[in-house]
Amino acid sequence: MPLVASSYAAPLWLPGAHLQTIVPARFMRLPPVAYRRERWETPDGDFIDVDFALPQPVAAVAPVLVMFHGLEGDSQSHYARSTMRWFADRDWRGVVIHFRGCSGEANRLPRAYHSGDSEEGDWVLRKVHARWPEAPLYAVGISLGGNMLAKWAGERERDALFVTAAASIGSPLDLAAGGAALGRGFNLVYTRMFLVTLKSKALAKLQQFPDIARDGDYMRRLRSSRNLYEFDNEYTAPLHGFRNTEDYWDKASAKPWLRAVRIPYLVLNARNDPFVPALSLPQPQDVSPRVELEQPAQGGHIGFARGPWPGRIDFIAERLHRFFTQREPSLS
C-alpha cells in the first residue's frame, strides 16, 4: 500500500519540531478524564494496573480500545487523556494499560518493561478479548508502546486476527535509529527527562533486589548513564535477557515484522519527529498490504496540535476513530 496523504497540518503559530513536541505535552489544555482502576495479576506473579475511562458503556458489545503508552507514560499523558475522552464520549470502552512500574507503584519483580515486550502485550490483549468476546477489539500503541504492538502484530500474523485493527503513533520502529537520535543535540533534553525517572526506578530496584548488580561498580555506572544507549546497556538489556543494547534494539525493533502484519494497521509518524529520524521510517516496500503508512511533514513527537491559538490535541483521536470505524473484523 502506498503512503497515504495526511490531513494533518501544523498551525502557523506552532513552528518547528521541538515546539510541536513540547507545547502539546506540557502547556496545552487537556480534557478532563476520570478513570476506574483495576489491578491485574500477571502469570509470573507480578501485576499491572489498568485504567478504564469513564463513563464506561453498559453494552458488552461496545467497541473496546486498548492503549499502550509511551516510555515512562501513563493514563494522564496528554495523548492518553485526549484519546480516552474522545472515545468515551462516543460510547467506546477506553482502556489504558500501564506497563510494569508506570502506574505510580513499583512492580513486585526485578523485571520492568521494554520496547519489545510483545509477550506481555499478547497476554493483555487476549485477556481483554476474553472479557468482552463479542466486542470489536482495537489497539493503539504510542511511541514505545507502538513498537511493541507492531512487533506483536507481525510476530502473531493470523493469530492476531482477534484484534479488528490497530495503530502505532509516533513509534520508533527502528530502535537503533531512534536511540541514536535521542543521544545528540537538543534531543538530550528529552533523554535527560526520561533518565530522571528511569534511573530512580532502577536504583530503587537495586535496593530491593541487590542481585541485579553485576559487579561492585554497577551502581556508579548506572547513575552516570548519559543517554538511553548507556542506560539500556547497563539495565534494560541485561535485566530482560538481552546481551547488550545492540542486541536489545535489534531484536526488539518492530520494523522487520511489518511485512508479516495481517490485521488492518495504521502507522502514523511525523517526518519531523525529533525522536524518530525520517530516514528510518518504513516505506511501502517494507510493509504488508494491510499496513497503512501516514507520514505528515510536521507534528513533532506525539504532538499533532491543530487549530487556532491556544489549539487542541484531538487529531490523534480523530484519526484513530476514522481509521478504526472504516474497518470490519478481518477474515483474511
Instruction: Label the pairing between strands 137-142 and 93-97.
Output: unpaired
Q: CA-CA distances (angstroms) from residue 26 to 77, 140, 302?
A: 10, 22, 12
Q: Is 69 a catalytic residue?
A: no
Contact 182, 192 (CB under 8 A): no
d(CA 170, CA 147): 9
Angle CA 270–70–93, to nearest 5: 100
Q: Is 232 a catalytic residue?
A: no
Residue with cell 511511541: 143
Owner of C-alpha cell 506483536 = 152
Q: Which residue has the cell 491556544?
A: 310
Q: Which of 78, 98, 240, 301 is catalytic?
A: 301
Among 6, 75, 143, 171, the active-site one is: 143
Residue 9 identity (one-letter amino acid): A
- CA dist list (Å): 140 to 105, 160, 188, 193, 281: 24, 14, 27, 24, 18
Q: Which of 273, 280, 314, 321 is catalytic?
A: 273
Extended beta strands in the chain, E state: 35-41, 47-53, 64-68, 93-97, 137-142, 165-169, 265-268, 291-294
3-state secondary structure of 46: coil
Active-site residue, 301 included = yes
Active site residues: 143, 273, 301
